[in-house]
Chains A and B, each alone.
Chain A
Amino acid sequence: MSKNTNSTHTDAFYKEKHKEEMKYQVITFAMMIIFTIIAFGLVAGGFSKYFTIPVILVLAAVQFLFQLYYFMHMNQKGHEMPALMIYSGVFAAILTILALTTIVWW
């Protein structure tokens, strides 16, 4: 029954690996909660808007990457196509937002 022993070994290996992943995901969650509290705290604290707005936008961008790479597993192998697709989306998204916000200047 050497085949069965082998599969228990691989099972144990993957279980351990999944546990490791979960640990990082829980850390990610804690960081996102902290970032959220900082962002709300900055706004509630009434700091200058030229300081607050860039900082909360950066915090949002970092949370976006956390979700993508840890919660949506983009840090794992075989995610080249997903990365291409989501970043093409982000590229078009930035252009769209720039176009729509600058068009109202005049």
Chain B
Amino acid sequence: MTHDEMLRSDNLPHEPEKATLEGKNKFLGFWFFLGGETVLFASLFGTYLALKNSFGSEEGVPTTELFGLELVFIMTVLLLTSSLTSVYAMYHMKNHDFKKMQLWLGVTVLLGAAFLGCEIYEFYHYVHHYEHTFTAHAFGSAFYTLVGFHGAHVVFGLSWILTLMIRNARRGLNLYNAPKFYVASLYWHFIDVVWVFIFTVVYLMGKVA
């Protein structure tokens, strides 16, 4: 088999994302990066927990009054479902079905965008109705840094997946781009993992205590 034939989508091997050395390296390197991201988010979570409801000499609304559970629940379901649709996309990638993979990645992007819309509305609501801003007090700074940093990850993940989809739309699936799609989907799952802790530690625990 020639090199060109190897790269064509009708001859893909089993697990195309790990069939090349480059793919294997991307896979390992990305997990290393995720380990680092875990620590990064931990420092933001730690900061948030330490500064939760710290208003200093300023007036502020405590977590029990500030947060609303309905919107957070909708956001959680949106993000969790988008995690499932990106699993569907990887399922079709493993079966070498490029069109269906693109379709499910598209659904993932839509759900992610809906999540982002809810988050923007939420922040807007806090700022305009509760004067809960980034610079108002230590609690505000810690809250927007943690949740906003997660939101920035969602923005980055969406742009990443969209770029991959558009750039490879006419190329089809091959050994060169399969690892890219796989790694982007890992990133998307990691975003959902972080959100699980945000809705538990920030919103639910904020509502209880």
Footprint of B on A, CB under 8 Å? 10, 14-15, 18, 21-22, 25-26, 29, 32-33, 36, 39-40, 43-44, 49, 52-53, 56-57, 59-60, 63-64, 67-68, 71-72, 78, 81-82, 85-86, 88-90, 92-94, 96-97, 99-101, 103-104
Contact = CB atoms under 8 A, between A and B. Distances in A.
B157 to A, nearest CB: 14
A93 B91 contact: no
Contacts of B94: 14, 18
Contact of A43 (B38, B80, B204): B204
B209 A49 contact: yes
A85 B190 CA distance: 14
A97 B49 contact: yes
20 contacts: A10-B14, A29-B81, A29-B84, A36-B80, A43-B204, A43-B208, A49-B209, A52-B204, A64-B196, A67-B83, A81-B28, A85-B31, A88-B35, A89-B34, A89-B35, A89-B37, A89-B38, A92-B42, A101-B46, A103-B50
- A-B pairs, top 5 by smallest CB distance, nearest first, are A100-B46, A93-B42, A89-B35, A89-B38, A82-B31
Interface string B22-50: 00000110011011111101110111011
A42 to B, nearest CB: 8
Q: What's the dominant secondary structure at chain A's contact region? A: helix
A85 B88 CA distance: 25
Interface residues of B, number: 49
